[in-house]
């Protein structure tokens, strides 16, 4: 399938999709999406979505207009920002504010790469909206291919006003995630799969997830270690050796991301740099006030 944009130039300048780019280009995360439509066993909902963020960190929610204002300031002061992402603190597709923000960004900054991370439940339903908003790179967290692990991982799913549990919830989420991945590839998006490695729950299935995702056309895979918390607080965190081995095995089927820093849903700067967006905005305002006073 032809890409709807120059995939090579996106990859060369996206800090998450390219290891080479991550020391040169930065991303901004806009925390405009508080609501979530599923419950993962490793998530405590008072913090950011663990599927794409550092556990135990809570971001302050911004309205779409506040988010846009921050982007204007950050882009003016930092010419190495190439990507604007929405990664929570809940699931971006479960929040209309996500689409409002993306639309406004796409209108005002048509050349910047818009990125989004999702649990995939609403992906088939919102694909056209994402394309209209100009999203180019997408992350889908997929933790299972079969029903048994999914039933252990997800305690409920809320889909089309129905509260689903057990087998029905697992089947609904798995179907939508894989169908969403297929549709996103068909639409020409550049896609990363995030998979949380949970020993004894889904670790044996991860190579199958990699095979299937690679066959469908995902560009890269990010295998992340479980941080034991919530319902999964007693499950052992996978060792570095386990992760390295899994990445080697899965790398045969789909390229592996190894430089993820599990950033916050309001992260800004180079990966791992952790600059404070609010401080940057404040500095900009102080600068303006200072100039207004001395001129």
Q: How many CA atoms lie within 13 A of 267 on its CB side?
A: 26
What is the distance between the alpha carbons of residues 259 and 17, in angstroms, rounded to a whole number?
Answer: 10
Q: Which stretch binds ligand CLF (CB under 6 A): 128-136, 232-240, 247-255, 258-266?
A: 258-266
Tell me if 31 contacts ligand SF4 by CB under 6 A. no
What is the smallest separation between the CB atom of 51 and ligand CLF, expressed in angstroms?
9
Tell me if 266 contacts ligand SF4 by CB under 6 A. no
**Sign of torsion over alpha carbons 33, 93, 91, 111:** negative
Nearer to ligand CLF, 32 or 271 (CB): 271
Identify residues 152-211 at the interface with ligand CLF (CB under 6 A): 192
Tell me if 157 contacts ligand SF4 by CB under 6 A. no
CB atoms within 10 A of CB 43: 24
Tell me if 49 contacts ligand SF4 by CB under 6 A. yes
What is the distance between the alpha carbons of residues 289 and 33, in angstroms, rounded to a whole number?
Answer: 31
Q: Where are the alpha helices (DSSP H) in the chain?
A: 7-13, 64-77, 96-108, 123-132, 147-153, 166-186, 206-216, 240-250, 277-294
State how far the alpha carbon of 276 is from the alpha carbons of 48, 87, 117, 177, in Å. 16, 17, 21, 33
Among 21, 115, 142, 209, binds ligand CLF (CB under 6 A): 115
State the binding partner of 50 from ligand CLF, ligand SF4, none, CB within 5 to 8 A by kind.
ligand SF4
Tell me if 193 contacts ligand SF4 by CB under 6 A. no
Tell me if 85 contacts ligand CLF by CB under 6 A. yes
Map residue 90 onto helix, strand or coil: coil
What is the distance between the alpha carbons of residues 122 and 143, in angstroms, rounded to a whole number?
Answer: 16
Binding mask 113-132 for ligand SF4 (x = CB under 6 A): ------x-------------
Among 262, 266, 277, 280, binds ligand CLF (CB under 6 A): 262
Q: Which is it for strands 113-118 and 190-197: parallel, antiparallel or unpaired? A: unpaired
Whether residue 176 contacts residue 122, with contact meaning beta carbons closer than 8 Å, is answered with: yes
Q: Which stretch binds ligand CLF (CB under 6 A): 37-45, 213-221, 257-265, 279-287?
A: 257-265
What is the smallest separation between the CB atom of 45 and ligand SF4, expressed in angstroms?
6
- Bond from prior residue into 89 cis (ω within 30 degrees of 0): yes
Among 180, 222, 226, 253, binds ligand CLF (CB under 6 A): 222
Nearer to ligand CLF, 112 or 164 (CB): 112
Tell me if 50 contacts ligand SF4 by CB under 6 A. yes
Residue ranges binding ligand SF4 (CB under 6 A):
36, 38-40, 43, 45, 49-51, 90-91, 119
């Amino acid at each position: 399938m032809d890409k709807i944009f120059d995939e090579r130039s996106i990859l060369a300048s996206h800090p998450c999709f390219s290891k080479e780019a991550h020391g040169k280009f930065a991303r901004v995360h806009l925390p405009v999406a508080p609501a979530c439509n599923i419950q993962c066993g490793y998530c405590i909902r008072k913090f950011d979505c663990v599927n794409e963020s550092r556990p135990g960190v809570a971001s302050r929610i911004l309205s779409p207009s506040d988010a846009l204002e921050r982007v204007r300031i950050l882009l003016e002061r930092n010419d190495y920002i190439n990507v604007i992402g929405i990664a929570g603190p809940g699931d971006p597709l479960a929040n209309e504010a996500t689409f409002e923000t993306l639309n406004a960004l796409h209108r005002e900054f048509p050349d910047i790469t818009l990125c989004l991370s999702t649990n995939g439940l609403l992906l088939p339903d919102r694909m056209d909206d994402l394309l209209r908003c100009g999203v180019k790179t997408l992350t889908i967290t997929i933790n299972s291919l079969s029903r048994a692990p999914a039933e252990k991982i997800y305690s409920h799913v809320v889909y089309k006003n129905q509260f689903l549990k057990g087998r029905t919830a697992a089947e609904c989420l798995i179907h939508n995630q894989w169908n969403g991945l297929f549709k996103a590839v068909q639409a020409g998006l550049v896609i990363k799969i995030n998979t949380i490695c949970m020993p004894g729950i889904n670790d044996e299935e991860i190579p199958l997830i990699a095979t299937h995702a690679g066959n469908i056309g995902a560009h890269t895979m990010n295998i992340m270690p479980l941080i034991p918390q919530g319902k999964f607080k007693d499950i052992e965190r996978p060792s570095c050796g386990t992760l390295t081995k899994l990445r080697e095995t899965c790398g045969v089927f789909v390229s592996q991301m190894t430089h993820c820093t599990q950033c916050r849903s309001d992260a800004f700067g180079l990966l791992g740099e952790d600059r404070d967006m609010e401080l940057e905005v404040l500095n900009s305002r102080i600068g303006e006030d200072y100039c207004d006073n001395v001129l």
